[in-house]
Amino acid sequence: MKLKKPGKILVFSLGGSLVVPESGIDVSFLKKIRKGFLSLLNLKEVKQIIIMVGGGKTSRDYMNAAKKIDNLERGEIDQLGIMSTKLNAELVKLFLKPKVYHKVLKNPKNLPKEEEIIIASGWKPGNSSDLNTILWALKAGVDTVYNLTDVDFVYDKDPDKFPDAKPLERVSWQEFKKIIGGKWEPGLSTPFGPVACQKAQKHNMRVVVLKGEDYKNLKKCIQGKDFKGTLIE
């Protein structure tokens, strides 16, 4: 599969479970993303990169613990998820110095125009990391988001539960929403969240799901060459 070459700004959703998988903080992966993102800046058509960092396992661990407390409001649990994304984002920012903006941003309205790499974290209760990524893309005026995750493709059903699950190279928003379901909860783990899907579909945006560790494949995608992944549109 090939895509048209993007504009000057690239927007990424970086899964928190890539930064902190089950085994703990993945320093090897963080070194890879440093090399990968800096190599993208060497492409003449790329002027700025925006990276929204998710909370992943860290977020889910804290929120699952909080759910055992009686009478907590959903917003209070959400705040733990937001703080988890901030912690992950701060770590990613350190690995991308000196090309990165000096602080992690939350509100998509605050987009510096001249900085080469922008790192973003969770913003406010009720907004998933995926939804925030779409908001950053809208602010930047781009129609494509690159979702870096721990799978090569979106599947027609959960590959961990169904051995006959089939990878999909292209899928419509309607079909994708049927696969993941329509309800979002804090800490939900899907290739792309349902609320973010609705926002992306409303604005005719596309999401490319790619395995986050494979930067050669990502670079091919950015350059309009054959790549492995799923296009949701």
Residue 3 lies in a domain: no
Of these ranges, 76-85, 88-97, 104-113, the one predicted with the greatest mean pLDDT is 88-97
Residues found in the chain: 233
- Number of structural domains (the chain) is 1
Residue 4 lies in a domain: no
**CATH number of residue 161's parent domain:** 3.40.1160.10
Confidence at residue 182, expressed as pLDDT on a 0 to 100 scale: 57
**Is pLDDT of 184 > 60?**
no
Which two structure tokens, joined as six digits, stand for 199?
């926002």
Per residue in 136-172, pLDDT tens?
Answer: 999 999 999 999 998 899 998 888 888 898 999 999 9
Does residue 153 contact residue 165 with C-beta atoms inside 8 Å? no
Buried b / exposed e over 170-187, threshold 16 CB at 10 Å, is ebebeebbeebeeebebb
24 burial class (0-12, 13-18, 19+ CB within 10 angstroms)? exposed
Residue 1 lies in a domain: no
**Is pLDDT of 188 > 80?**
no
- Enclosing domain of residue 33: 9-232
CA distance 76 to 156: 34
Per residue in 43-86, pLDDT tens?
Answer: 888 999 999 999 988 888 998 899 899 888 888 888 998 999 99
What letter does residue 58 receive in the DSSP assignment? H
Number of H helices, E strands in the chain: 8, 9
Does residue 230 contact residue 175 with C-beta atoms inside 8 Å? no
Confidence band, pLDDT 50/70/90 cuts, at residue 187: very low
